[in-house]
Structures are given as structure tokens and as C-alpha cells.
């Protein structure tokens, strides 16, 4: 079976292909010739993931899934949320982390979580899979691995940031891994 992953991040596609196994062959947006800038204008991760998977289903008439992720911080009313990638107005990870730390100055409630929502459209029906990981926003950056907000996020039960963990360790507990595991279980049981 072939399935489109509505992503142009080849690294993500390969990682998920390795998790899914050989029964399902993943194709990226590039592989199906989709070079469009797919709109992501929703207020929630689920809306954005659904917008992407429905776009591909409608325009390319193929089963597919899409994911959308981000960071929710309690003391900031859930921000940066769906604006995680460009919170500061730029896509620069450093600028985005600086803005978070600045807005949390003096705040003692540092609770936050990363969330991923996957929308799968299979045989015309939409299914959602979610993963999240709770944690705390630190006072300053630590670590240099990973990407995005990893240097300022310490997952619950740990005393190191995501950016101080090996990729393997992060991938065992991350929001994305949890959502992907649910998707894979569904696909393999179907």
C-alpha cells in the first residue's frame, strides 16, 4: 500500500517510513509533484493538520496524512500554539525562544507541553491521532541538539532539556513519536 505524508521534510518522511515498516510505502509531497504552498490558517493543530491532508486528498485524490505540532505555555494562555514556527514574526528559532523567555520573565508558572495532531484521510474518512508531552520552560537555554524550542523545554520527570537528549531518547518520548505510534498502530491493524 502507498500513502502520502503531506510533508516536504524528507528527514521526517524517512523517519516515519522506518517506524511504519515495509507494508506501507510513504510518499512525500515532492514525490507526488505537489509544490503548492498548502494553506495552514486554522486556530488549532487539528484544523491545520486537517487542512493539509484534505488539500492533498482533494487535489491529488490519494490517501494521505499530515501533522501539525507546537508548544503550548500555560502562563501565556496557550501561546505560541499554532504560531510556534513564527512566533516572533520570523522563523528563527533563537528569536522565537527569546520572545518566550522575555514574556515569561518574572512568571513562576512555567508549565508547558508540546503537542502533535495527525490527520489521516483513508478511503475518504478522516481520523485524528494526538500525542503530547508535559514539561517546564527553563529560565535559560541549555543544550544544542534538536531544533525549535528544544533548548528551553525540560520534559516532566527529567532534569535535562530536549536539546541535551540524544535523538533516540527524545524520539522515544516526544509528542510526535506518541502521535505517530497511534497512527502506525491504526494502519497496521486496519
- Residues lying near ligand IMP in the complex (CB under 6 A) are found at 68-71, 84-85, 114, 146-150, 162, 174
Going by C-alpha positions, the residue among 1, 2, 13, 3 that lies closest to residue 53 is 3
CB of 149 to ligand IMP, least distance (A): 4
CB of 187 to ligand IMP, least distance (A): 20
Give the integer Cα–Cα distance in Å for 53 and 97: 29
Residue 114 or 129 having the CB closest to ligand IMP: 114
Q: Which residue is nearest to ligand IMP (CB)?
A: 148
> Among residues 63, 67, 68, 150, which one is catalytic?
68
Please identify which residue in the block is written with the cell numbers 499554532.
82
Residue 57 or 162 having the CB closest to ligand IMP: 162
CA 63 to chain centre: 20
CB of 147 to ligand IMP, least distance (A): 6
Residue 102 or 147 having the CB closest to ligand IMP: 147
What share of residues in the chain are helix, strand, coil (percent, to 5)? 40, 25, 35
Q: Is 68 a catalytic residue?
A: yes
List all residues 6 or more positions away from 132 whose beta carbon is below 8 Å from its beta carbon.
Answer: 113, 114, 115, 116, 175, 178
CB of 36 to ligand IMP, least distance (A): 17
Task: List own/partner pairs for 153-159 with CB under 8 A and 24 or more apart.
Answer: 153/71, 153/112, 153/114
Give the integer Cα–Cα distance in Å for 115 and 106: 25
Give the integer Cα–Cα distance in Å for 167 and 49: 24
Residue 32 or 99 having the CB closest to ligand IMP: 99
Q: Provide the annotated active-site residues.
A: 68
Amino acid at each position: 500500500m502507498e500513502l502520502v505524508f503531506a510533508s516536504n521534510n524528507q528527514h521526517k518522511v524517512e523517519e516515519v517510513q522506518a517506524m511504519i515498516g515495509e507494508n506501507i510505502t510513504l510518499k512525500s509531497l515532492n514525490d507526488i509533484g505537489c509544490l503548492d504552498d498548502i494553506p495552514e490558517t486554522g486556530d488549532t493543530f487539528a484544523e491545520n493538520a486537517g487542512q493539509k491532508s484534505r488539500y492533498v486528498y482533494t487535489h491529488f485524490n490519494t490517501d494521505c496524512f499530515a501533522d501539525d505540532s507546537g508548544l503550548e505555555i500555560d502562563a501565556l494562555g496557550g501561546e505560541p500554539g499554532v504560531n510556534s514556527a513564527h512566533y516572533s514574526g520570523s522563523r528563527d528559532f533563537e528569536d522565537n525562544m527569546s520572545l518566550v523567555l522575555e514574556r515569561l520573565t518574572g512568571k513562576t508558572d512555567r508549565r508547558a507541553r508540546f503537542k502533535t495532531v495527525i490527520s489521516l484521510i483513508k478511503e475518504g474518512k478522516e481520523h485524528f491521532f494526538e500525542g503530547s508531552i508535559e514539561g517546564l520552560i527553563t529560565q535559560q537555554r541549555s543544550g544544542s541538539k534538536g531544533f525549535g524550542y528544544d533548548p528551553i523545554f525540560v520534559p516532566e520527570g527529567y532534569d535535562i532539556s530536549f536539546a541535551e537528549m540524544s535523538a533516540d531518547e527524545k524520539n522515544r518520548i516526544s509528542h510526535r513519536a506518541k502521535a505517530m505510534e497511534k497512527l502506525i498502530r491504526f494502519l497496521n491493524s486496519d
